């Protein structure tokens, strides 16, 4: 008997300059309780905000895979992001025109294949505060010569 489990990934990325110093944040929550079960954040050097947003998505999907392996096939993931571009591209409604986005979208798609389902939902920036905070913490740490922990 397989038990279905739903996890929520809240992901964000930012760039100070676009392109400029960039970072991402991702939070994984249990959908039933809302409890945070993982956080990821990192500086990614100089990049655009869209590259940072995709990096946050990838980090969130990787965290879910780490948390649920080997039973990823029974996990449904709801991705919530304030990046309309990433949500629409990953949902297949918008074409991926920029060459630097394609490998990131392909990596995210590859990770998503391991789950029972992945749904992408746009949320307003003010409802993505935890992931935004993590992205900013990672960029602040990098600016101070540190690694986010």
Domains of the chain (ranges plus CATH)?
5-143 (3.30.420.10)
Which residues neighbour 45 within 8 Å (Cβ) at sequence distance 6 or greater? 21, 22
- For the stretch 113-140, pLDDT in tens is 999 999 999 999 999 999 999 999 999 9
**Joined tokens for residue 30:** 């249990």
Average pLDDT for 71-87: 93
- In this prediction, residues 79-95 reach a mean pLDDT of 97
Q: How confident is the model at residue 1 (pLDDT cuts 50, 70, 90)?
A: very low
The Cα–Cα gap between 76 and 5 comes to 6
Question: Is the alpha carbon torsion for 50, 122, 7, 10 positive or negative?
Answer: positive
Q: How far is residue 66 from each of residues 6, 19, 28, 144, measured CA to CA in Å?
A: 15, 30, 11, 29
Whether 2 has a pLDDT exceeding 70, the answer reads no
Average pLDDT in the chain: 94
Q: How far apart are CA 78 and CA 126, in angstroms?
A: 18
């Amino acid at each position: 008997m397989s038990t279905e489990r739903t996890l929520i990934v809240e992901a964000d990325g930012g760039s100070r300059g676009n392109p400029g110093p960039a970072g991402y944040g991702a939070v994984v929550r249990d959908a039933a309780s809302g409890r945070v079960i993982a956080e990821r954040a990192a500086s990614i050097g100089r990049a655009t905000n869209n590259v940072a947003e995709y990096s946050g998505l990838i980090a969130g999907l990787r965290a879910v895979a780490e948390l649920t392996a080997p039973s990823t096939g029974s996990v449904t993931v709801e991705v919530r992001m304030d990046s309309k571009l990433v949500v629409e591209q990953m949902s297949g409604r918008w074409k991926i025109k920029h060459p630097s986005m394609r490998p990131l979208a392909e990596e995210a798609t590859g990770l998503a294949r391991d789950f029972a389902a992945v749904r992408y939902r746009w949320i307003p920036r003010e409802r993505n505060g935890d992931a935004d905070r993590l992205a900013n913490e990672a960029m602040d740490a990098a600016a101070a010569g540190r690694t986010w922990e």
